[in-house]
Amino acid sequence: MKTMDELLSTHPFMADLDADALAIVAGCSRNVVFEPGELLCVEGESADTFYLIRRGHVSLDVHAPGRGPVVIETVGPGAVVGWSWLIPPYRWTFDARAKSRVGAVAIDGACLRGKAEMDPALGFALLSRISKELLSRLQATRLRLLDLYGGRDER
Amino acid sequence: MSARTLHEDASTGVSSHRGAGSLTPTMHRVVERIRETGDVVTLCLEPVSGGRLDFLPGQFNMLSVFGVGEVAISVSGAPRDPGPLRHTVRDVGAVSHALSESAVGDLIGVRGPFGSDWQIVPVNAGAAADPRDVVVVAGGIGLAPLRGAVHELVAAHREGGGRVFLLVGAREPSQIVFNDDLEAWARDGAKVMVSVDRATPKWPGRVGLVTTLLGDAGFDPANVRAMLCGPEIMMRFTARALVDMGVDPGAILVSLERNMQCGLGWCGHCQLGPLLLCRDGPIVAYAGLVSQLLSERER
């Protein structure tokens, strides 16, 4: 059975994080499993956790009156789910739902914020990773806004 | 179709079969019309005078609707299929609209095939199957020029060739083309992943840009070749993402298109930098010049 440090070290989000930092993050982490349809987080509720997805896929949903849950995006192994723990008022903006059986590392956001405030180097390392992930997701979202497949390509 | 010659172009890194004497259309009759999506139709054509047009996956023909005009459309059939010539057309302009409205029995003019191909050695050609993985990324109607190639690749995989990863992006589930083929290719061992930009409530699959599938696909970046076809922005970002993953830029092929008219590199309407895409393309290697041209801003 893998230790939490080992689980974290194999996730792309934690790639190249040094052993001391990994140990600190591991102290705020636990291994979790979600069955298909289970919610990882719920829009409007307190955002105190984020997830490093190890297995399975998660949909990010928003509830639309008359339409039910509308899937905005799906993410899979290697992805991070949840940014709202980072910025006040720490409240989820969307639902996150397991589309298949999901294995993840759940990280206590409040715990990690506290560790990062005491250790600026750790805070910078984590924020760099978070910024990279956010940039990647923002760019993908911007490209989707272009409605690429709706163009006048005759092929 | 007259004799063709194999042409190696140093600027694109891709060889092509050029048609000669292909300014005169040959008459073809529409023998079947398949509605793929709301605005996409596949026309199955047979030459009025008999015979069969020889082509390679990725090449295109100039299709004429008499009294309306002529347009470049890639062949969406597979050379290994014995049936009629297939072209898949999206209704976006005057000629493609007229083609889309063609009925069984109508006559269509066909010139070609023109341009370069996806560089696939058919397994029945006596050569050993290429052991490298292949990742094929298609956006929207961009799956049409790749359809014949994927048929060949899946067949090659069954004969010991590399694994096939087909990543498809579409605006919404109703606009996914060739659903039956996607299922068949998956049954035959290809890893088929589809992502849509806008999900419907019953859509069970992935939602997001097609590039987000790359990380999950599971191919070996050090031992893969890539074939990309779709909107040029999609291809640009996909190629960059592949290179960032460690894929050799020289192993990436993209399908480019401009205003193809003569098909023979004479008129210059399809010029992109030093390339005449009807002759040097549409399939070109991403490495070097093409990667620069894809980022070139029009003046």
Q: Which two tokens stand for residue B116?
A: 């370069």
Decide if A70 and B215 are in contact by the 8 Å CB cutoff: no
| B184 touches A: beta carbon within 8 Å | no
- Chain A window 9-28: which residues touch B at a Cβ cutoff of 8 Å? none
Q: CA of A101 to nearest chain B CA: how many angstroms apart?
A: 14
SS3 state at B239: helix
Averaged pLDDT, A11-33:
94
Nearest CA-CA distance, residue B208 and chain A, Å: 5
Residue of B nearest to A71 (CA): B199
Inter-chain residue contact B234 with A148, CB threshold 8 Å: yes
Q: Which of B271, B278, B266 is nearest to B298 (CA)?
A: B271
- B202 contacts: CB under 8 Å, gap ≥ 6: B173
CB contact under 8 A, B73 and A71: no
CATH of the domain at B163: 3.40.50.80
Instruction: Say yes or no: B75 and B212 in one domain.
Output: no
Same domain, B91 and B168: no
Q: Do B73 and A152 touch (CB under 8 A)?
A: no
* Cβ count within 10 A of residue A78: 16
B140 to chain A, closest Cα gap in Å: 5
Bridge partners, B165 (sequence order) = B135, B191
**pLDDT score, position A123:** 95
Distance CA A98, CA A40 (A): 7
Enumerate the residues of chain B whose CB falls inside 8 A of the CB of residue A99: 204
Of all helices (H) and strands (E), which one includes residue B299?
none
Written as six digits, the tokens of B67 are 């009294």
Strands (E), A35-67: 39-41, 49-55, 58-64
Q: Do B50 and B152 reside in the same domain of the chain?
A: no
Strand pairing category for B283-285 and B252-255: antiparallel
Separation CA B168–CA A60 (nearest Å): 20
Encoded tokens for B270: 């399809």
Q: What share of chain A has pLDDT > 90, as a percent?
A: 79
> Which of A67, A73, A152 is opposite residue B207, by nearest beta carbon?
A73
- Residue-level pLDDT at B10: 46
Whether the Cβ atoms of residue B114 and residue B22 lie closer than 8 Å to each other:
yes
Are residues B279 and B140 located together in one domain of the fold? yes
pLDDT category at A151 given cuts 50, 70, 90 is: low
Q: Are B196 and B170 in contact (CB under 8 A)?
A: yes
**What local confidence, expressed as pLDDT, does residue B237 receive?**
92
Q: Taking CA atoms, what residue in A is nearest to B87?
A: A155
Q: Is any Cβ of chain B less than 8 angstroms from the Cβ of A133?
A: no
Class of residue A37 by CB neighbours under 10 A (exposed 0-12, middle 13-18, buried 19+): exposed
The number of folded domains in chain B is 2
What's the pLDDT score for residue B7? 40
Residue among B175, B207, B234 minimizing CB distance to A59: B207
Q: With a cut of 70, list the residues of chain B below it in pLDDT.
A: 1-21, 124-127, 298-299
Superfamily of domain A4-145, CATH level 4: Jelly Rolls (2.60.120.10)
| Inter-chain touch B73–A68, beta carbons under 8 Å | no
Say if residue B132 is in the same domain as residue B107. Answer: no
Q: Which residue has the higher pLDDT, A49 or B12?
A: A49
Shared domain check, B133 and B110: no
Question: Which DSSP letter does residue B170 get?
Answer: E
The domain in which residue B84 lies consists of 5-114
Q: Provide the pLDDT for residue B4.
A: 34
B contacts of A154 (beta carbons < 8 Å): 71-73, 89-90, 92-93, 96, 257
Average pLDDT over residues A95-120: 96
Please, what's the b/e burial string for B155-184 (b: 16 or more CB within 10 A of its CB; e: otherwise)? bbbeeebbbbbbbbbbbbbebbbbeebbee
What's the rounded Cα separation, in Å, for the pair B169 and A151?
14
Residues of A in contact with B207 (CB under 8 A): 59, 71-74
Partner-chain contact A148 B204, CB within 8 Å: no
pLDDT (0 to 100) of residue B3: 30
> Measuring CA to CA, which residue among B297, B295, B140, B299 is closest to residue B210?
B140
The angle formed by the CA atoms of residues A108, A29 and A119, to the nearest 5 degrees, is: 70
CATH of the domain at B65: 2.40.30.10
Q: How many residues does chain B have?
A: 299
Q: At what angle do helices A120-145 and B232-245 cross, to 10 degrees?
A: 150
Record: contact A154-B231, CB cut-off 8 A:
no
**A79: closest CA among B225, B220, B206, B246?**
B206
Q: Which residue of B has its CA nearest to A53?
A: B216
Out of A75, A144, A153, name the one closest to residue B197 (CB): A144
| B204 and A CB contact within 8 Å | yes
Query: What's the length of chain A?
Result: 155
Q: Check A152 against B170: CB less than 8 A apart.
A: no
Helix axis angle for A109-118 and A120-145, nearest 10°, is 130
Check residue B219 and give its pLDDT: 94
How many A×B Cβ pairs under 8 Å? 93
N- to C-terminal Cα separation, chain B:
38
Instruction: Specify the pLDDT at position B299.
Output: 66
Give the closest-approach CA distance of B169 to chain A in angstroms.
8
User: A59 CB near a chain B CB, below 8 Å?
Assistant: yes
Q: What is the predicted pLDDT for the residue at A69?
A: 85
Chain B residue nearest residue A136, CA to CA:
B212
Calculate the CA A74 to chain-centre distance: 11
pLDDT of A35 strictly over 60: yes
Closest CA to A48 of A89, A20, A1: A89
- Between A59, A76, A150, which is nearest B171 by CB? A150
**Partner A contacted by B272 (CB < 8 A):** no
Check: CB of residue B259 under 8 Å from CB of residue B249: no
Determine which of A97-101, A145-149, B187-191, B227-231 has the lowest per-residue pLDDT on average: A145-149
Residue A26 has a CB neighbour count (10 Å cut-off) of 19
Q: Which residues pair with B46 in a beta bridge?
A: B29
- Can you tell me the mean pLDDT for A57-75? 91
Mean pLDDT, rounded, of chain A = 92
Question: A111 pLDDT exceeds 60?
Answer: yes
pLDDT of residue B21: 47
Selected residue with higher pLDDT from A128 and B19? A128
B269 plus B144 within the same structural domain: yes
